[in-house]
């Protein structure tokens, strides 16, 4: 447990106490070996494994214990090697055989994991992780995989045509961005797996359902929820994918030696760098933690992720780690962040990496970071209780349809906590009241600020896009609808409207993609959907593709006159 909790020195003391009591305390010896490996002292680890072998040459569980600790610390290839050794010395250790299969799945393999898991299951290893993983392997027949030189994308067949263009675009964009920013190239393609059933994703990552995460990275394999796997507005797949892709690069650059706090913090920071609307979110849970002085010293931050001591500490730790990386970037520059990556690759500790790259002690860093954070959020924290009371009062005013009072009171509520964009936020209440009073520009202004602060309610963003169109701002309307693609792309009307806006603005490739999304959703009116794709292709100058879409339109409805007319024009131009 101490080693799980990233406290190797204390873990070693307990293991030594066990060994002193019993010369065949094999599990304690395995803990010693694991602690040595995690400190990259392979010779010491080998010596402990030799002691295990001398007592019991067939004790595979010792290797399995080491494998579990390596996997817990994201060192998957090494963990797999130790699980292999466990099975080699004890072929009937079915638990280790199952764990080997599950971890090979995490590395993107399928055939060997299936064989290992089936053997384990047939021999009594019928635990939930084994059974669930076999069920998931059986479901892979329902997925579709596309590959190129740098990516492998696995999508559920029923949504592959809709999602593929969006995921492929962001995958390639993130790879190019991180290659330039981190000054490195990956050794092979990245495999991204997208699961519309959240429990399938949970099984894929943990072997068990119930995982609260949105995405998980196993080296160069990423598994994540599909936007259809979450309630609309609860999940931004673009932010999640960019977050996980940062992990891919940082885990590779450090050979999996990076502390959890840093890789998570950097990934959170990168979300906001990819899109300002995705920036680190100051939620009420975080405000309360700051108010109650629950933030951890930077040298203890891993505990906040691995063994949280209060219900929301993991989420608070994500925010703290993300703002720490933002602070480093702001004060010392991105090169300092990259320097810390290199320090961790050289097996430096957090205090050593801070001293080497920021030239302050961890204690000095904590103090200066605290001052910086207070300047950013101190006013919100100080007014938190007052804000909460005033928001409740504002909600009551809105429920009573006292629109003038809402318009008068909302700005003060927003000023006290401008980052709040969750349920019953003041921005939406203000916008609704302004609309009722007929002030469309004021409503649009409120919703624009809501969007900039990271608000992701599909209804609010649709409303904003409509207002922007009505107010004569088609570019802004298109940008808002495009943001919705990262939140809830399974909206036929969204794609039709965005396709029309982009076609009118000359973004023909974007129009092709959006109208193609409508076709992928198999609408009732397939003839007009295919016709819209044809219009976009014609605008882009691709008459061959336009003809294909026109013919598909006429196949759906042979008498559809707009398509008949366009087909005649295409044929006449040949």
pLDDT in tens, 228-243: 988 888 899 999 999 9
Beta-carbon count within 10 A of 101 CB: 30
3-state helix vs strand vs coil in the chain, percent to 5: 70, 5, 25
- Residues 514, 495: contact at Cβ < 8 Å? yes
- Phi–psi pair at 216, nearest 5 degrees: -140, 140
Beta bridge mates, 225:
195
Q: pLDDT tens digits, residue range 526-546?
A: 999 999 999 999 999 999 999
> What is the side-by-side order of every strand in the sheet holding 190-195?
143-147, 151-156, 190-195, 221-225, 215-218
- Helix pair angle (492-505, 526-539), 10° resolution: 30
Q: How far is CA 529 from CA 526, 563, 571, in A?
A: 5, 11, 21
> How far apart are the C-alpha atoms of 138 and 196, rounded to whole Å?
16
Q: Which two tokens stand for residue 518?
A: 């409508």
Beta bridge mates, 195:
225
pLDDT at residue 88, as a whole number:
97
- Tell me which residue has tokens 């019928």: 126
> How far apart are the C-alpha atoms of 290 and 148, rounded to whole Å?
46
Contacting residues for 42 by C-beta, under 8 A, at least 6 apart = 36
Q: How far is CA 306 from CA 231, 250, 260, 419, 554, in A?
A: 27, 19, 9, 27, 58
pLDDT at residue 209, as a whole number:
45
Contacting residues for 403 by C-beta, under 8 A, at least 6 apart = 433, 436, 437
- Residues 165, 127: contact at Cβ < 8 Å? no
Beta bridge mates, 224:
194, 215
Does residue 401 come out as left (phi exceeding 0), alpha (psi in the -120 to 50 range) or beta? left
**Alpha helices in 183-236, H assignment, sequence order:** 198-206
Q: How many CA atoms lie within 13 A of 43 on its CB side?
A: 0
> How far apart are the C-alpha atoms of 235 and 51, rounded to whole Å?
50
- Residues 271, 278: contact at Cβ < 8 Å? yes
Does residue 424 come out as left (phi exceeding 0), alpha (psi in the -120 to 50 range) or beta? left
- Phi–psi pair at 22, nearest 5 degrees: -145, 120
pLDDT at residue 210, as a whole number:
45
Q: Which two tokens stand for residue 473?
A: 């701002």
- Phi–psi pair at 224, nearest 5 degrees: -155, 165
pLDDT at residue 5, as a whole number:
80
pLDDT at residue 199, as a whole number:
73
Beta bridge mates, 146:
153
Q: Which two tokens stand for residue 539?
A: 């605008």
Taking 50 as the pLDDT cut, the residues of the chain under it are: 208-211
* Of the candidates 484, 433, 436, 496, the residue with the CA atom closest to the CA atom of residue 460: 484
């Amino acid at each position: 447990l101490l080693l799980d909790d990233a406290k190797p020195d204390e873990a070693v003391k307990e293991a030594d106490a066990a060994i002193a009591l019993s010369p065949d305390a094999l599990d304690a010896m395995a803990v010693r070996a694991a602690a040595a490996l995690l400190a990259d002292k392979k010779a010491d680890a080998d010596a402990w494994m030799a002691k295990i072998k001398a007592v019991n040459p067939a004790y595979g569980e010792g290797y399995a214990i080491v494998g579990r600790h390596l996997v817990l610390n994201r060192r998957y290839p090494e963990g797999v090697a130790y699980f292999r050794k466990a099975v080699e010395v004890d072929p009937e250790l079915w638990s280790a055989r199952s764990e080997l299969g599950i971890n090979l799945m995490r590395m993107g393999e399928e055939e060997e994991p299936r064989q290992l898991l089936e053997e384990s299951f047939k021999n009594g290893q019928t635990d939930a992780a084994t059974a669930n993983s076999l069920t998931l392997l059986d479901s892979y027949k329902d997925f579709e995989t596309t590959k190129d030189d740098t990516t492998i994308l696995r999508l559920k067949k029923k949504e592959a045509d809709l999602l593929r263009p969006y995921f492929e675009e962001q995958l390639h964009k993130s790879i190019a961005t991180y290659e330039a920013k981190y000054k490195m190239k990956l050794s092979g393609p990245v495999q991204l797996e997208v699961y519309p059933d959240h429990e399938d994703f949970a099984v894929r990552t943990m072997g068990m359902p119930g995982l609260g995460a949105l995405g998980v990275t196993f080296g160069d394999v990423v598994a994540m929820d599909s936007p259809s796997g979450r309630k609309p507005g609860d999940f931004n797949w673009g932010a999640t994918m960019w977050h996980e892709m940062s992990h891919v690069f940082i885990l590779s650059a450090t050979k999996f030696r990076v502390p959890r706090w840093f890789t998570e913090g950097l990934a959170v920071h990168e979300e906001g760098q990819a899109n300002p609307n995705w920036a680190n979110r100051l939620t009420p849970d975080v405000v309360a933690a700051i108010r109650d002085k629950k933030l951890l010293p930077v040298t203890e931050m891993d505990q906040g992720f691995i063994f949280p001591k209060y219900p929301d500490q993991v989420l608070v730790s994500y925010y703290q780690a993300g703002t720490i990386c933002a602070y480093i970037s702001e004060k010392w520059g991105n090169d300092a962040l990259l320097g810390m990556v290199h320090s961790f690759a050289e097996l430096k500790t957090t205090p050593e990496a801070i001293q080497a790259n920021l030239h302050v002690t961890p204690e000095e860093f904590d103090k200066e970071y605290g001052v910086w954070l207070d300047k950013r959020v101190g006013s919100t924290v100080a007014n938190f209780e007052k804000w909460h009371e005033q928001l409740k009062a504002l909600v009551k005013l809105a429920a009573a349809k006292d629109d003038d009072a809402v318009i008068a009171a909302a700005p003060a509520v927003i000023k006290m906590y401008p980052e709040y964009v969750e349920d019953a936020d003041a921005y939406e209440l203000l916008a609704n009241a302004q609309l009722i009073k007929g002030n469309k520009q004021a409503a649009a202004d409120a919703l624009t600020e809501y969007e900039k602060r990271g608000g992701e309610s599909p209804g609010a963003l649709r409303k904003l896009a409509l207002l922007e169109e009505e107010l004569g701002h088609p570019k802004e309307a298109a940008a808002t609808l495009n943001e919705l693609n990262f939140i809830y792309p399974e909206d036929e009307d969204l794609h039709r409207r965005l396709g029309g806006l982009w076609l009118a603005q000359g973004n023909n490739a974007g129009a092709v993609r959006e109208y193609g999304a409508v076709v992928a959703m198999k609408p009732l009116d397939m003839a007009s959907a295919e016709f819209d794709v044809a219009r976009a292709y014609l605008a882009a100058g691709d008459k061959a593709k336009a003809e294909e879409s026109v013919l598909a339109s006429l196949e759906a409805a042979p008498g559809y006159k707009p398509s008949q007319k366009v087909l005649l024009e295409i044929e006449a131009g040949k």
